Amino acid sequence: MTLEDALAVADSGAAGVYLSNHGGRVLDSGQGVVEILPEVAAELKGKIAIMVDGAIRTGFDVLKVIALGADTAHIGRPLLRMSLAGGGEAVSLYYNYVKGDLRRAMIMTGCRTLKDATPDILASV
């Protein structure tokens, strides 16, 4: 969760760096992923895959982290809850919800592709 750590990961030859605050409950005042993501993206975008998780629940959240420089957005806790609550069918329903929500977010912000998602759209979401 620091630029220095992300640079060390990149220098190690890894194919990607994963930013996560591990549920945000490890430290009471720990940073959120979106607080460090722009700084990491400024240094590493296009050089190494940038993967993130943390408080991503909707398609709008996915679009926001993509706009901030993430290459992928990972959703953990909601999928776990869905799998426990209703198995594969519930996971599929949730996935389709997020996919549709992302599509709506892209339409509302004028993004034809995810490459169009830049920090400029953040005032709209």
Taking the C-alpha atoms of residue 23 and residue 75, their distance in angstroms, rounded to an integer, is 11
Name residues whose C-beta falls within 8 Å of residue 53's C-beta, 6 or more positions apart in sequence.
18, 19, 20, 33, 73, 74, 75, 76
Please say whether the beta carbons of 71 and 51 come within 8 A.
Answer: yes
Exactly one of 3, 16, 22, 27 is catalytic; name it. Answer: 22
Q: What's the order of all strands across the beta sheet hosting 72-74?
A: 16-19, 49-53, 72-74
Question: Is 22 a catalytic site residue?
Answer: yes
Catalytic residues: 22
